[in-house]
Every structure is written in C-alpha cells, then in structure tokens.
Structure 1
Amino acid sequence: MNDDLLGRHRAVLPDWLALYYDEPLEITHGEGRHVWDAQGNRYLDFFGGILTTMTAHALPEVTKAVTEQAERIVHSSTLYLNRPMVDLAERIAQLSGIPDARVFFTTSGTEANDTALLLATAYRRSNTILAMRNSYHGRSFSAVGVTGNRGWSPTSLSPLQTLYVHGGVRTRGPFADLDDYDYVAACVDDLKDLLGHSRPPAALIAEPIQGVGGFTSPPDGLYAAFREVLHERGVLWISDEVQTGWGRTGEHFWGWQAHARSGPPDMMTFAKGIGNGMSIGGVVARAEVMNCLDANSISTFGGTQITMAAGLANLTYLLEHDLQGNARRVGGLLIERLRAAAAHVPAVREVRGRGLMIGIELTKPGTDEADPAAASAVLEAARAGGLLIGKGGGHDTSALRVAPPLSLNVAEAEEGAAILEDALRSIQ
C-alpha cells in the first residue's frame, strides 16, 4: 500500500468515503477478469468496480471505440445533434421492451433514478413514492429519500413522502415462513392496505434484485402482482436495473422480466455495466411519461460522445458473444460450487442469486444475527488469496457480493470459488 497516497486521500476527501480493507488497495490496471495493484499483485476480480466492468477489463473493442471517438470529438452537450447518442438510444429502446420508448442519458445510476422520480412526480402530480425495504437507489437527495437501507441513508429529510413496502427480502421479515404463493399474496395484501392509508402515490421504485442490500430478491412474479394493483390506480412502476440489467442474471436480459406477467415497467433506469467503466446512466420510459415535463432541460455530460461510443461497443460485444448465456452457464456452476462450499461453514446463512450476481449472507452460527465482522474477515482473506469481492446487506453489511465480469470462464470460476471457500473456512 502506498502510505503517502492513503494519507493524501484522508487529508482531502470526506471521512464518509468508504474504503475496503484494513490496508486500502490501489488498483493500477486490469485485463480480462484480472486487476493488478500498485505493488504488482494480481487479483481475480469478482466485483468489477461495483458491477461496472461488465464485460472485461481493457476490452479491446471498447478501448478502440473510445480512442477513435476521442480523436474526433469528446463532448458537445445535448444542445447539438449527437450521432452516437442516437445510435445507442435506438438500441436500448428496442431492447427495453417498453413500447414507444424514449431514452434519456445521465452520468450515473443515482442521476438516472433522480430523473425517474422527477418524471413520475411530475406526471402523477404527487410526491408520494412507494419503495422497498432494504433498497438502495443512489446518493442524491431524492434517491437517498427512497432508499430503504439505513446504512446508506444519512438523512431523514427528503423532497418526497416515501412509504416502504414488504417483499424485497424473501428469507427475512414477517412473511419469511410462507411458501412463495402465500408470500406474494401477503405482500400484495400489505400493499393494498398501505394504499388505503396514503395519498395516491406517483410510483413504485424497486430493484428486481436488491444490489447494495446483499443481492436479495422476492419470488418471481411479485412485481407483476404489484403492477396489477398499481395499474388499477394509475401508479407507475419504475424498475431500477442499475445492477440487474444487460443479462447479468443469466435467465433474463432485464431483471423485470422475471416479473413479466403484466408486461414491462412504465420506466426503467440503467447504469453501471453498459459503459464498462465509462460514466453512463439513463432512463427509458413510455413517451407519454418521458415527455410530460413542461420546462426546458438539457444534460451537459449525459450522452457525451465518448461515453456513448464506449456503450455502443460494449453492448455490441455483449450481444455478439452471448454474455447473458455465459452468465447463466458459468454463474450456475459458480453458485452451486459456492453452495457446496458453504454447506461446511456454519456462519453461512444463505447463498443466493442468479447468473453472475451471487450473495453469501453470514450470521453468527446457529442464529439469524448478522455478523459484519465475519464478512470483513472473509473479504480480507479473499484478498490475501488473490480474489476481490464486495460486501452489502441490509443487516449491518453481513453479506458478501460476488459479481464478476460476464465473460468469466469456467476455470476462473473454479479458481475464484476455491479461494472463497478457503476464505470462508478461515473464519471458523
């Protein structure tokens, strides 16, 4: 670790800017599914810059597109026609499944969710928002106001009235002991009761799989059942696909498709993986909703040419190489391997997830009490073994998050699983 860099970091950056590891890591470069630190140590990357390096580090197709675009023009703002932005918007609109879709680009998932909340409240003339318990939607004032995870919500002040709904965490809460059918029915009944006691909401915003919350999810079909109740009342459904989009779950291209009985959401937000490290976020919405604003607006950096070029190249590579299928195949092998390893570790409460989006929840053995110290210890042990993973969870950050680039191969999955097995065993 470069002690001087750490000291400089602490001297000029906020205390609340989290750093992983007792001795924080400086990553200097990457290739494929690996990264290197400033001391030359090589790591298998199972976190991808928080699910952002979606395809691979230093993917030649993306670096070439960025270089060629930078040699022409980097940026002009949305006040001018922008061919790469239109090209990528057309691709995303077609892939979204939302009819008559319009796309607005931002620079992050936070900004995308902020925009979706602006659109929903303007369209519905209501500042009441439904959100899920244990959720995370970003760092802006409005996004924090709809975040149902206390570890990531630093203030109770908000421009919105937020009402939190049951259902995002299948194995905890008052309905955890029910079977899937009865669980969905109980959550729907709870939603109906909540609606009967509140002013008409603008929208429900929900992650199909809760990312920061520890990769938790409801049974398939829950949000379709919610949608039927909401649609009767004109309430919009915003699917936050910042972490679940682009085929990461393997089974579907978008997380909402696991809940597709009632059709696509009214709005969908995206970010992270589409840029493969470049700053891209955005909102897809029905034209009626997207066009509801009655004031001028622009985006200075949303949709800038160099990020759009990266997004186009990255999306093309993902589709041409069927990385969704790879996530399904290799992710399925990885989750079974991790479940087999976890069966011998009493501290593991649950191994959950889909595709290459896997959570390992740790508790004090024999209880449901979260064990964040154990999670931190496994994170450190995995790093010592040459593997980078993440943390999360709504119960004191006691879940490990495993989300490699979608091009992960079987040999790398086996290598990473072996390191993680050793790390889990080390805490016993």
Structure 2
Amino acid sequence: MSTAKARQILDMNAFDPRAGDAAASPLLRRRQENYGAASVLFYREPIEMARASGCWMEAADGTRYLDFYNNVPSVGHCHPRVVAAVSRQMATLNIHTRYLNPLIEDYLERLKGHLPAHLGNVVMTCSGSEANDLAMRIATRTTGASGFIVTETAYHGNTRAVTEISPSALKQGAPPPHVRTVPAPSRAAYGDDVAGGFAAAVAAAAAALAEDGHGVAALICDSIFSSDGVFADPPGFLAAAVAAVHGVGGLYVADEVQPGFARSGDAFWGFQRHGVAPDIVTMGKPMGNGYPLAGLAVRPELLTAFCEDVGYFNTFGGNPVACAAGLAVLEVIEESGLQANARDVGGYLGDRLRALSAHDPRITDVRGAGLFIGVDLGRADDPAVPDAALASAVINGLRDRRVLIGAAGRYGHTLKVRPPLCLSRDEADFFVEALADALAALPPG
C-alpha cells in the first residue's frame, strides 16, 4: 500500500469549488458565498435535494436516488411515526430541560432498557461531538490522566477537544502529544490475530502515554471503525484491548454514534458484538432520525464525581421535541423489527457483494455487520494497492445510476454502505446491479 496516499475525511467525494463552475448554479453560488471555505458538498456536481421518503431521496429536478450513504434517518427518511411525534410535541410544548416533563423520562427509561444496567445515568446533548467532548471531560476527571488512544483514521466529532482525537479530520499535521493512534483492527495490520495484535498496539500506546507523563484517560472507539474502513470482525476482538486499557486505569468509551441503534443486526449496539462493558457510551446521528438528538450513558459514580467539579447542562439537549423523536425511533425499531431486517437484508446484501467480487478483482474485500458494510476497491493490475481514484469514479458512477454512497478508510478506497434500516431486498438488488454496471463502465486498468 506504499503507493497509496492517505486522504482526509472531508476530501472524500467532495465538490471542489476550484474545479466546478459555481456561476452555472445560482444556488451553488449562494452556498459558496454564505458558507465560504467551510462549505462541504458532495459530488463533482452537487445535488439540490427537495424531498425524501423511506430509503429514497428526490432532487429538485425529479430524479430519485437510493440513499446508501446516510445513517441519520436510520428508520427511513421522513418516517410518518417520527414526523407525527415531533409535530404533536412541537404543537404542545418545547422548552429547555430544566422543567419536569414525563415524556423526557419515558424516553430515557426506554433508552436505558437497551443499555447495560451499570450505565444508569444518561446526559442529553444535541450532537455526537458534544457527547464525545463530555465523555473526554468525564474520563479526564475520573482518571486524573490526559491521554487518549484512538485509531489512525478515527473520526469522533468537531469540537476543539474532539477534533484532536479525530485524525481523519486533520488536513495538516498530526494529533497532539496526548493522543496516540493505533492501526485499525484489520488483518492487513495484524494478520490472523486481530484481537491480540490490536490489544498489543493499544497496550504499547498506553505505555508511551505513561512514559511521556500523560497517562491514559480513555480508549475511544467507534465500535465498527467506520471511518477506518469498517472493521467488525471477528466478534469479540475488542475485548482484549479494553482489558489492556482497564488494566492501566483508563476508561473505555464506546462511540456508538454510527454503529448504534440496531445497525449491526447482531446487536442493538456495536460494543455488544464484542462482549465488552463500556464505562461510557456516546450516541447521536440515528438517535432522532434527523432531529438533533445525542447523548451519553455513563456509570453514575463517574458522573457524580465530574459534577462535583463543574456540573453540566445543555439548553437544547434532550428537549421534549427531541425526546419525542427519539422515543418514536425506538418504537419503530422495535415494532417494525428493524434490527432483524438489518441482519437479514444486510446478510443478503453482503452475499451479493461477495458474489460480485468473484467476478471483478477490483473489489478486494467485503466486510461488515448488518447494514454497515465496507467494500474495498483496488487496482486491477495490483489489487493490494488501494484505488481511491476508482472509488471516486464509482461513487460518481453510482450517482449517475441513482444511488448515493460515500467513502471511508485511510486511503479513501472503501465504499461505506450504510442505508436506512428499512432497506428491502429489492433495494439491495438495485444497489448491487448499479455497482456492477458502474464498475463495468470503467476501464479495467
């Protein structure tokens, strides 16, 4: 992989205003003028979206796209159950969280029913970034240490502190000295002993932090390692690394912002596939199906000690409308059997993708769990070399075939397959056939 170049997460599949013609679209010109350098848009030609339903989005020109990118509307775009719950609560009461409201407690108790019993307290925020920022603060207060261990291409959010533990967000430089990175839990990095190799790397990072005087506050993992390229197997491999961190007094923070809420199919949370007990679980994106809702679950004694120093409140985090959305999401997942659907349709989709890879050597690996799958693309003449250019061409080719998808991985060569949990087998077939056609239209070399 020496010839492949590492890529920053916001550069993957991004519109480049230097190459595009903003003047051709008045709306695009307004976007660039208003957002400036912070504007991030998908595709060489950005899409103006107008509406969405289920697994499909519709552009302003009437083109319908199958959404294989976005895990925010986890139970389906504009799900009528969520829309009704939010609308009803918005018309009744929406206020900050310093008043009593039974709906909020109903939601938190329903959410805690899906969590390990030792995580007895939940703190609500508006974004996964805020949740991870708070988790870092609690970990630092609990351990008295300042060091954090993450994977090489991790992404955990965009506050100042969380950006420092998000190597994939850094366009220049490296994480600061109190952050140590380890290779993602892949067979490319660790061979057949992923569990042992990953644990050894985490232990070495912990030793380096201790030697430099930082100590270990926490190991923070997105438990399906999505930004690293999606690494889910073998189930249980994470346990040895968590034990190594606990052995030196650090915490384990399970970042479930992407893998949580039934997406893996095997379990409601990604960490459950590994049989580990987090000290803190952070969550976000799919939690409110598009309404800003996030939070963390934590051992009560850790939160109590933290609040003795500074306390915490969040004006909008966990407001009644947000909790109405969250409660509706949980009800839909449970009553519609979406965890089982993620397992069954995800397994079917994985099988079809592996069958396709047998006919096209440019698909070098298919891995994942449930409806979270990574598809690696490599050079036809040397499949061991990641091919980010091919991934970009395929992503845009899929767009032409009415499928939306993103990229991940250190080299940007992994298609990140992450459709809504209500995906049907027919829709899975639509995607695989579009992918086969997009690959067939590209030169093999």
1:282 equivalent in alignment to 2:295: yes
User: Identity, % of aligned pairs?
Assistant: 34
SS in 2 for 1:401: strand
Provide closer, same or farther for how the CA distance between residues 14 and 371 of structure 1 changes in structure 2, counting only shifts above 3 A.
farther
Q: Which residue identity lines up with residue 245 of structure 2 in the other structure? A: L
SS in 1 for 2:149: strand
User: Which of the numbers 1, 13, 24 marks the counterpart of 2:46?
Assistant: 24
1:170 alignment partner in structure 2 = 186
Provide closer, same or farther for how the CA distance between residues 155 and 98 of structure 1 changes in structure 2, counting only shifts above 3 A.
farther
Q: Distance in 2 between matches of 1:372 and 1:100?
A: 40
Is residue 152–residue 228 contact of structure 2 (8 Å, CA) maintained in 1?
no
1:67 equivalent in alignment to 2:81: no
Deviations 1:305-361 (A, max 9, x none): 111111101111111111000000001001111111122223222111111111111
Tell me by how many angstroms 1:265 deviates. Answer: 0.6
1:202 alignment partner in structure 2 = 217
SS in 2 for 1:188: helix
1:250 equivalent in alignment to 2:269: no
1:422 alignment partner in structure 2 = 437
1:114 equivalent in alignment to 2:125: no
Q: Which residue identity lines up with residue 99 of structure 2 in the other structure? A: Y
1:54 equivalent in alignment to 2:71: no
Tell me by how many angstroms 1:116 deviates. Answer: 0.6
Deviations 1:280-324 (A, max 9, x none): 111111101122222232101111111111110111111111100
2:397 alignment partner in structure 1 = 381
Q: Where does the alignment leave 5 or more consecutive residues of structure 2 unmatched?
A: 1-21
Q: Which residue identity lines up with residue 228 of structure 2 in the other structure? A: G
User: Which of the numbers 337, 342, 359 marks the counterpart of 1:344?
Assistant: 359
1:312 alignment partner in structure 2 = 327
Q: Distance in 2 between matches of 1:379 and 1:184?
A: 32
Q: Distance in 2 between matches of 1:244 and 1:237?
A: 16
Is residue 98–residue 286 contact of structure 1 (8 Å, CA) maintained in 2?
no
Is residue 98–residue 264 contact of structure 1 (8 Å, CA) maintained in 2?
no
Tell me by how many angstroms 1:160 deviates. Answer: 7.3
Root mean square deviation, CA, Å: 1.9
User: Which of the numbers 188, 191, 194 marks the counterpart of 2:199?
Assistant: 188
Q: Which residue identity lines up with residue 156 of structure 2 in the other structure? A: H
2:373 alignment partner in structure 1 = 358
Deviations 1:66-85 (A, max 9, x none): 110111122x2122223332
Tell me by how many angstroms 1:15 deviates. Answer: 2.4
Deviations 1:109-135 (A, max 9, x none): 111111111111111111111112221
SS in 2 for 1:257: helix
Deviations 1:172-199 (A, max 9, x none): 33x2xx22xx332233233333333332
Provide closer, same or farther for how the CA distance between residues 155 and 126 of structure 1 changes in structure 2, counting only shifts above 3 A.
farther
Q: Which residue identity lines up with residue 126 of structure 1 in the other structure? A: A
Q: Which residue identity lines up with residue 331 of structure 1 in the other structure? A: G
Q: Which moved more, 1:332-341 or 1:11-20?
A: 11-20
Tell me by how many angstroms 1:16 deviates. Answer: 4.3
User: Which of the numbers 289, 300, 310 marks the counterpart of 1:295?
Assistant: 310
Q: Distance in 2 between matches of 1:340 and 1:14?
A: 44
Is residue 98–residue 285 contact of structure 1 (8 Å, CA) maintained in 2?
no
**TM-score, normalised with respect to structure 2:** 0.88
Is residue 149–residue 202 contact of structure 2 (8 Å, CA) maintained in 1?
no
Is residue 387–residue 413 contact of structure 2 (8 Å, CA) maintained in 1?
yes
Q: Where does the alignment leave 5 or more consecutive residues of structure 1 unmatched?
A: none
SS in 2 for 1:278: coil
